[in-house]
């Protein structure tokens, strides 16, 4: 089986070497090496240019080098109608869980306030709520969201989760359906977005959502930049309804140097590092998916295109 490998990341060479090492019977080519596009049966990609995959007339599967497929299902991408497989990796879920826990602790224990005070050499104490009194709401209870919700519950937070279909997770209060949306928000001191970016979820972190959160709530986004209306967040922070935000993903990445989020005193920014794909385990999954396709089987973690995730 021949595969096109398209990866814009600085560690693309590491990925390619791992794929070749773990799948010695398979052939991996970068786009400039492809002489006969119709012989390519698999495309291993991240953010390929529009039109690249269309030219591969013999394509049997698209294997994404990460967890999210929104960049491939975006309007105008013209994706061939073949199985689209993403990486679902416990190593990535663990990475996300530690980032989310750090973000919640940052807000809960007011480290943002103390960082600001330290700059002013100011010794002022503030009361902090006990962990068991802090209510966290996790949007999305999939591979990432369920791991994060469970970790937060283990630590002692009062955790609820929001999903499209009902979920039964130990220690997590489940919310589903638009009629429960206001009560889910009203009980979320911390709102964490780990939804996939779809036509239904785009812009879900907006002024109406923020207004329905308790006074002094924190917003944490590690889903996609398209979930957040950045100007609505800035307004909700500036009028003191929200206490802070921790953001890992942005509508435009890298976040432009002049963007107001950079300098906002209530915002902590990380450069899309919450859960970077692990090349070692990711390459193993891609090879397993290619072998499944060759056997005529549907690989695990094939995206349901009707739901865009
Ligand atoms: N920042 C980073 O470094 C990083 C790294 C990896 C992933 N991500 C992002 O993290 C997000 C989650 O990834 P994942 O792998 O956990 O996704 P996933 O396994 O597909 O889970 C998605 C969850 O969202 C729920 N959902 C989808 N549409 C919904 C809707 N309209 N209303 C309510 N719930 C909805 C799903 O409900 P059901 O359970 O009912 O299907 C599911 O629980 C994605 O945006 C991904 O791109 C970010």
Model confidence pLDDT, tens digit, residues 151-188: 999 999 999 999 999 999 999 999 999 999 999 999 99
- pLDDT recorded at residue 166: 97
Report, as an integer, the average pLDDT of 71-86.
Answer: 92
Of the residues 241, 272, 294, 308, only one is catalytic, namely 272
Q: What residue spans of 163-248 are helical by DSSP H?
A: 181-186, 207-212, 230-238
Residue 138 and residue 152: Cα distance in Å, rounded?
Answer: 10
Query: With 90 as the cut, is the pLDDT of residue 51 above it?
Result: no
Confidence of residue 78 (pLDDT cuts 50, 70, 90): confident
For residue 205, the cross-strand partners are: 228
Query: Which residues lie with the beta carbon below 6 Å from any ligand 1 atom?
Result: 67-68, 92, 140-145, 162-165, 167, 194-198, 200-201, 222-224, 248-249, 272, 274-275, 309
| Residue with CA at minimum distance from ligand 1 atom 47 | 68
CA of 105 to the centre of ligand 1 (A): 22
Name which of 229, 147, 125 is nearest 245 in CA terms. 229
For residue 138, the cross-strand partners are: 161, 192
| Residue with CA at minimum distance from ligand 1 atom 32 | 164
Mean pLDDT over each residue of the chain, to the nearest integer: 97
The whole-model pTM stands at 0.96
* SS3 label, residue 279: helix
Q: What is the pLDDT of residues 266-276, one digit of tens each?
A: 999 999 999 99
Whether the CB-CB separation of 285 and 264 falls below 8 Å is answered with no
Q: Which of 46, 65, 67 to mutate to test the pocket of ligand 1 (most atoms within 8 A of CB)?
A: 67
Whether the CB-CB separation of 43 and 59 falls below 8 Å is answered with yes
Query: With 90 as the cut, is the pLDDT of residue 137 above it?
Result: yes
Query: With 90 as the cut, is the pLDDT of residue 244 above it?
Result: yes
Query: With 90 as the cut, is the pLDDT of residue 82 above it?
Result: yes
Q: What is the pLDDT of residues 15-24, one digit of tens each?
A: 999 999 999 9
126 noted as active-site residue: no
Cα-to-chain-centroid distance, residue 104: 16
**Angle, CA 88 vertex, CA 93 and CA 287 arms, to 5°:** 135
Whether the CB-CB separation of 275 and 143 falls below 8 Å is answered with no
* 247 φ, ψ (degrees, to nearest 5): -125, 130
Query: With 90 as the cut, is the pLDDT of residue 76 above it?
Result: no
Residue 230 and residue 182: Cα distance in Å, rounded?
Answer: 21
What is the Rg, in whole angstroms, of the alpha carbon atoms belonging to the chain?
21
Q: How many residues does the structure list for the chain?
A: 309
Minimum-distance ligand 1 atom for the alpha carbon of 69? 47
CA of 38 to the centre of ligand 1 (A): 34
Q: CB count, 10 Å around CB of 57?
A: 10
């Amino acid at each position: 089986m021949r595969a096109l490998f398209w990866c814009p990341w600085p560690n693309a060479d590491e990925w390619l070497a791992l794929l070749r090492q773990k799948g010695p019977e398979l052939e991996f080519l970068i786009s400039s090496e492809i002489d006969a596009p119709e012989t390519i049966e698999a495309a291993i990609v991240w953010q390929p240019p529009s039109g690249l995959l269309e030219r591969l007339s013999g394509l049997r599967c698209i294997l994404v080098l990460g967890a999210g497929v929104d960049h491939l299902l975006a309007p105008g991408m013209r994706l061939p109608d073949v199985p689209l497989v993403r990486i679902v990796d416990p190593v990535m879920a663990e990475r996300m869980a530690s980032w989310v826990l750090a973000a919640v602790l940052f807000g809960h224990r007011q480290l943002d306030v103390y960082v600001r005070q330290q700059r002013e050499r100011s010794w002022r104490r503030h009361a902090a709520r006990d962990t068991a009194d802090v209510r966290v709401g996790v949007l999305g209870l999939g591979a990432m969201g369920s791991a994060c919700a469970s970790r937060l519950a283990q630590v002692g937070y009062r955790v609820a989760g929001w999903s499209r279909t009902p979920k039964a997770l130990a220690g997590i209060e489940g919310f589903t359906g638009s009629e429960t949306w206001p009560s889910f928000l009203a009980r979320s001191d911390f709102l964490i977005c780990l939804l996939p970016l779809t036509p239904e979820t785009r812009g879900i972190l907006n002024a109406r959502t923020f207004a329905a959160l308790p006074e002094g709530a924190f917003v944490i986004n590690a889903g996609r930049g398209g979930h957040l209306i950045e100007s609505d967040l800035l307004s909700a922070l500036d009028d003191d309804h929200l206490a802070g935000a921790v953001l890992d993903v942005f509508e435009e990445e890298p976040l432009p140097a002049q963007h107001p989020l950079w300098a906002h005193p209530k915002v902590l920014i990380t450069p899309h590092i919450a859960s970077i794909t692990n090349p070692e385990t990711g390459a193993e999954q891609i090879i397993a998916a290619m072998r499944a396709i060759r056997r005529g089987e549907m690989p695990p973690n094939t995206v349901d295109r009707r739901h865009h995730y």
